[in-house]
Amino acid sequence: MSEVLHDSLTAVLVLLGAVMCFAAGVGLIRFPDVFSRIHAATKPQIFGLMAIVTDVAVNNFSVGTVTLIVAIVVFQALTAPMAAHLVARAAYGTQHHRPDLLIVDELSDRGRPGSPRSSGSQIASRD
């Protein structure tokens, strides 16, 4: 690969990674609720990490480097969504969310059989 093409590819990958990580940071500040912020923190951050480590693999291509990079990306891709899910459940459980922004609330007690707030018990109490 020519030196100019190599440097151009490095610049594009590092810039892409920086933009994605910057977008994740801006999303954490700008989005209105916990669930949106968690989404902004995980998705662009992982894509930015993938761009940066791809650049490392291009610049230092060896079996050890590629193995380490694959391990980094796999573990980050596995742990970031799980951590975001746990933070979201904790935020929902402690009422640190904005219910007006939820389109579907699958964790609410409404609609669960035997729940005091379920629609079935409200209909039964009216009769």
Distance CA 110, CA 31 (A): 27
Residues 72 and 13 in one domain: yes
Q: Does the pLDDT of residue 112 top 60, yes or no?
A: no
CB atoms within 10 A of CB 80: 17
Name the residue with higher pLDDT: 52 or 43: 52
Distance CA 74, CA 49 (A): 11
Which band of pLDDT confidence, cut at 50, 70 and 90, is reported for residue 95? Answer: confident
Q: Does the pLDDT of residue 21 top 60, yes or no?
A: yes
The predicted model scores a pTM of: 0.67
Residues 12 and 70 in one domain: yes
Q: What are phi and psi of 47, to 5 degrees?
A: -65, -35
Q: Does the pLDDT of residue 117 top 60, yes or no?
A: no
Quote the number of domains for the chain: 2
Residues 50 and 110 in one domain: no
Q: Which two tokens stand for residue 106?
A: 């699958």
First vs last C-alpha separation in the chain:
80
Name the residue with higher pLDDT: 23 or 36: 23
Residues 67 and 121 in one domain: no
